[in-house]
Amino acid sequence: MNFIAILKVAMRALGRNKMRSALTMLGIIIGVGAVIAMVSIGQGAQRMVQDQISSMGSNMLYVMPGNMMQGGASMGMGAASTLTDEDVQAIQREIPAVAHVSPVVRSSGQLVFGNQNWFVQIQGTNEQFPQIRSWKVQEGEFFTDADVQSAARVIVLGKTVAERLFPGMDPVGQTIRVRNLPFRVTGILEAKGQSMVGQDQDDTAVIPYTTVQRKLAGRTIPAINQAMVTGVSEAGSKLAEKQIADLLRQRHKIGPGESDDFMVRNMADVAATSAQLTTIMTLLLGSIAAISLIVGGIGIMNIMLVSVTERTREIGIRMAVGARPNYIRLQFLTESVLLSLMGGLIGIMIGGSISLGISGFLGWPTLVSGLSVFVSFAFATAIGVFFGYYPAHKAAALDPIEALRYE
Amino acid sequence: MLETPAPSSTVQQAPKADAVIRLERIHKIYKMGDIEVHALHGASLSVYRGEFVAIMGPSGSGKSTMMNMIGCLDRPTKGHYFLENQDVSQYNKAQLADIRNQRVGFVFQSFNLVPRTSAIENVELPLVYAGVGSSERLKRAREALAIVGLSDRERSMPNQLSGGQQQRVAIARALVNRPSIILADEPTGALDTRTSIEVMGIFQRLNRERNLTIIIVTHEPDIAQYASRIVHFRDGRIRRDTPVENRRDAGEALKELPPLGADEDDDE
């Protein structure tokens, strides 16, 4: 068969009714455009969530002290002071699946340098903080184990804090006052951006947890708020989750059947939940768009049926001079696929522009993936074949005698 | 040119090798709802190479059904059809399409050119389905247009051509694949007298110069007189099959016509 001849006839047939072809294509254009735009928005959201989770540190576990009952009233998880320094050290010492551990003691305070001041949430941790949170020090360096042992008055500033206190100057080596105590700035953390809940993660300051306990606190030494743990690997952190629970139950002398006085939370679970959510969103958006693509396909079928009826006599002529039924079928199929293919191409361009526009004007992250382009293109073609087949088959099944008589 | 006084194929054994068409006891029954229409009642017909046959008969006589059968547009319910000694009576649709493409050239009353498609492309059409390459197609289509005297109109669209010119394009299309037979169904039915004679002249010339076998269906006894043999149908059977005694010559008939003083294609 001569495909160039088929293509030529198809182009001419579509060109003859430009308005009709354009309107038919519009259905596919809208469908494909919507799929591309929706999926790219969904995938952008997915990417954003993943970035944020990995910015918190992957393979990460939080160990929190448990519920405390005070006169019959539950004080909520984390209220108890059941997690001790020794617990944290035991986790480090006894569980090989654990890569890094740090206690966290939280505080807050006014930071003052010269005539600048800034109120900040202070995290007391040990020297393993950068590894655990996978958070690099941009300038200077992080405090050391020796600083932790000696409860040294050293501080590492988040990017936002550094910019507030030291506009236009290098903070490393400077001395600032925290609750009126002098602290030496040893380093600046690199910028990390917003957290999943929209909090500025760079608006923070990190000091040795011992310093929080012994220098910043009042009369009572504050308990450990939580422990941050990272596993040696993703599988390691799963294993560690279990082993930490066992270890702490043993250390806290919790008998079988009694409930834990602590809680271990795996960030991978949180990540999985959010990933699932965004996947559902992508699927939802994508399927709504896919429905419009199917509606577009029905439009193609409709117009091809009209075209077959209009050209019945022509089909009869072609059959009389020797066109096989298969050739007629291919002829009409080519026309419908051409419609859907051109619609698909324009749709991809429009969908791509829409998602670029959204990320440009609204600041949403979007991601036009090669896969979504390929899939929607393939889908558009498949729609052309699927919805074009019935009309093409109808044309091919015509009886040449009847077709020639058709007025 | 062979004349066949008796249609029975058993009698005509001797020239059988040259029988382009041999239809043996063809029956065609259409079912229209509960009613069965017996369009052909065991009609037998042989046509030999180089014959010019006119098929006549009232409407409903089965002549159109017979034409469809000969043109491989339809299959007999019963009986056999040998086209160049090949039994095509039970061919499937695709095989029949190939036979139509290679062996049969059609000319219709209403010309049946593909609309909005130039004359040359209309003529090329059978070659497209034959899988002939584009340069060869163009060459052969030009030759065919030259035969019918329309070399200067190859880029014209059907609606830019007069009826006579359209019918000549259709004849060129019928010729282009060098078929065994040309079938013309009322080829002059939509044309005026002068143009009708001109078209018949083309058929006579093709028949004489190229030894082409031509079969036409016509209502008009005048037109049938240009053929060499007339077959009459009635009630699904062949009633009369006679050679033409005083065959008319289109060239002379044209000379006898009063001069129009206008373009000879002015028939619209």
A351-394 per-position pLDDT tens digit = 989 888 888 887 777 777 788 788 888 888 999 999 999 999 99
Q: Does A5 touch chain B (CB under 8 A)?
A: yes
Place of tokens 């009459």: B232
Last residue of a domain, one of A235, A260, A285: A260
| Residue A77 confidence (pLDDT) above 60 | no
Strand partners, B41: B27
How do residues A248-285 score in pLDDT, each as one tens digit? 888 888 888 777 788 888 877 777 787 788 888 888 88
* Partner residue opposite A322 with nearest CB, options B112, B129, B134: B129
Question: A330 and A237, same structural domain?
Answer: no
Burial bucket for residue A234 (CB in 10 Å: 0-12, 13-18, 19+): exposed
Question: A318 and A284, same structural domain?
Answer: yes
| Residue B47 confidence (pLDDT) above 60 | yes
Which pLDDT score is estimated for A192? Answer: 82
Which pLDDT score is estimated for A84? Answer: 84
pTM: 0.72
Last residue of a domain, one of A234, A260, A286: A260
Strand partners, A106: A123
B71: chain A residues, CB-CB within 8 Å: 320
Which pLDDT score is estimated for B136? Answer: 94
* Partner residue opposite B173 with nearest CB, options A1, A5, A321: A321
pLDDT band at A58 (very low <50, low <70, confident <90, very high): low
Which pLDDT score is estimated for B135? Answer: 93
Q: Is residue A316 part of a domain?
A: yes
Q: Is residue B20 part of a domain?
A: no
Which residues contact residue A204 at a Cβ distance below 8 angstroms, ignoring those fewer than 6 apart? A120, A121, A122, A123, A158, A160, A161, A189
Domain holding B130: CATH number?
Answer: 3.40.50.300
Q: Is residue B83 part of a domain?
A: no
pLDDT band at B180 (very low <50, low <70, confident <90, very high): confident
Say how far apart CA A338 and CA B219 lie, in whole Å: 46
Question: A131 and A239, same structural domain?
Answer: yes
Question: A10 and A89, same structural domain?
Answer: no
Q: Is residue B266 part of a domain?
A: no
Which residues contact residue B6 at a Cβ distance below 8 angstroms, ignoring those fewer than 6 apart? B12, B241
How do residues A183-236 score in pLDDT, each as one tens digit? 999 999 998 877 666 778 889 999 999 999 888 877 677 788 888 888 877 777
| Residue B252 confidence (pLDDT) above 60 | yes
Q: Is residue A75 part of a domain?
A: no
What are phi and psi for residue B73, nearest 5 degrees?
-90, -15
Question: A238 and A100, same structural domain?
Answer: yes
Say how far apart CA A118 and CA A203 lie, in whole Å: 10
Q: Is residue A386 part of a domain?
A: yes
| Residue B265 confidence (pLDDT) above 90 | no
| Residue A182 confidence (pLDDT) above 50 | yes
Do the chains contact at A319 and B113, CB–CB below 8 Å? Answer: no
Which residues contact residue A84 at a Cβ distance below 8 angstroms, ignoring those fewer than 6 apart? A223, A224
| Residue B67 confidence (pLDDT) above 80 | yes
Say how far apart CA B220 and CA B194 lie, in whole Å: 14
Per-residue pLDDT, averaged over B20-35, amounts to: 91
Q: Is residue A265 part of a domain?
A: no
Which pLDDT score is estimated for A69? Answer: 54
A323 min Cα distance to partner chain B (Å): 6
A406 min Cα distance to partner chain B (Å): 11
Name the DSSP letter for residue A331.
H
Q: Is residue B43 part of a domain?
A: no
Per-residue pLDDT, averaged over B152-180, amounts to: 94
| Cα–chain center distance at A171 | 34
Q: Is residue B180 part of a domain?
A: yes
Question: A225 and A173, same structural domain?
Answer: yes
* Half-sphere exposure at residue B22, Cβ-oriented, CA atoms within 13 angstroms: 18
B102 within 8 A of B177, measured Cβ to Cβ:
yes
Inter-chain contacts counted by CB atoms under 8 A, chains A and B: 62
B112: chain A residues, CB-CB within 8 Å: 313, 316-317, 320, 404
In degrees, rounded to 5, the angle at the alpha carbon of residue B150 between the alpha carbons of residues B149 and B153 is 160
pLDDT band at A331 (very low <50, low <70, confident <90, very high): very high
| Residue B70 confidence (pLDDT) above 50 | yes
Q: Does A393 touch chain B (CB under 8 A)?
A: no
Q: Is residue A266 part of a domain?
A: no
- Mean pLDDT across chain A: 86
A319 within 8 A of A403, measured Cβ to Cβ:
yes
Q: Which domain holds residue A42?
A: 3-52+273-405
| Residue A300 confidence (pLDDT) above 50 | yes
| Cα–chain center distance at A271 | 9
Question: A202 and A168, same structural domain?
Answer: yes
Q: Is residue A76 part of a domain?
A: no
A4: chain B residues, CB-CB within 8 Å: 134
Q: Is residue B13 part of a domain?
A: no
Q: Is residue A168 part of a domain?
A: yes
Last residue of a domain, one of A203, A230, A260: A260
Strand partners, A183: A176
Question: A180 and A278, same structural domain?
Answer: no
How do residues B91-135 score in pLDDT, each as one tens digit? 999 999 999 999 999 999 999 999 999 999 999 999 999 999 999
Q: Is residue B100 part of a domain?
A: yes
pLDDT band at B15 (very low <50, low <70, confident <90, very high): very low
The residue of chain B nearest to residue A327, with distances taken between CA atoms, is B129
Say how far apart CA A157 and CA A185 lie, in whole Å: 7
How do residues A319-330 score in pLDDT, each as one tens digit? 999 999 999 999
Per-residue pLDDT, averaged over B140-153, amounts to: 94
Q: Which domain holds residue B111?
A: 49-75+92-256
Do the chains contact at A327 and B126, CB–CB below 8 Å? Answer: no
Do the chains contact at B130 and A316, CB–CB below 8 Å? Answer: no
Overall number of domains in chain A: 2
ipTM: 0.88
B185: chain A residues, CB-CB within 8 Å: none
Overall number of domains in chain B: 1
| Residue B29 confidence (pLDDT) above 80 | yes
Say how far apart CA B186 and CA B218 lie, in whole Å: 5
How do residues A126-164 score in pLDDT, each as one tens digit? 999 998 888 889 989 999 999 999 999 999 999 999 998
Question: A359 and A236, same structural domain?
Answer: no
Which pLDDT score is estimated for B268? Answer: 45
B106: chain A residues, CB-CB within 8 Å: 320-321
What are phi and psi for residue A245, nearest 5 degrees?
-60, -45
Say how far apart CA A275 and CA A284 lie, in whole Å: 14
Do the chains contact at B125 and A314, CB–CB below 8 Å? Answer: no
Which pLDDT score is estimated for B267? Answer: 47
Strand partners, B59: none
Which pLDDT score is estimated for B159? Answer: 94
Question: A251 and A197, same structural domain?
Answer: yes
Q: Is residue A218 part of a domain?
A: yes
Q: pLDDT higher for B81 or A280?
A: B81
Which pLDDT score is estimated for B175? Answer: 94
Q: pLDDT higher for A315 or A229?
A: A315
Q: Is residue B44 part of a domain?
A: no
DSSP H helical ranges for chain B: 63-70, 93-103, 119-130, 134-147, 163-175, 193-209, 221-224, 250-256
Question: A231 and A122, same structural domain?
Answer: yes
Question: A153 and A277, same structural domain?
Answer: no
Which pLDDT score is estimated for A67? Answer: 64
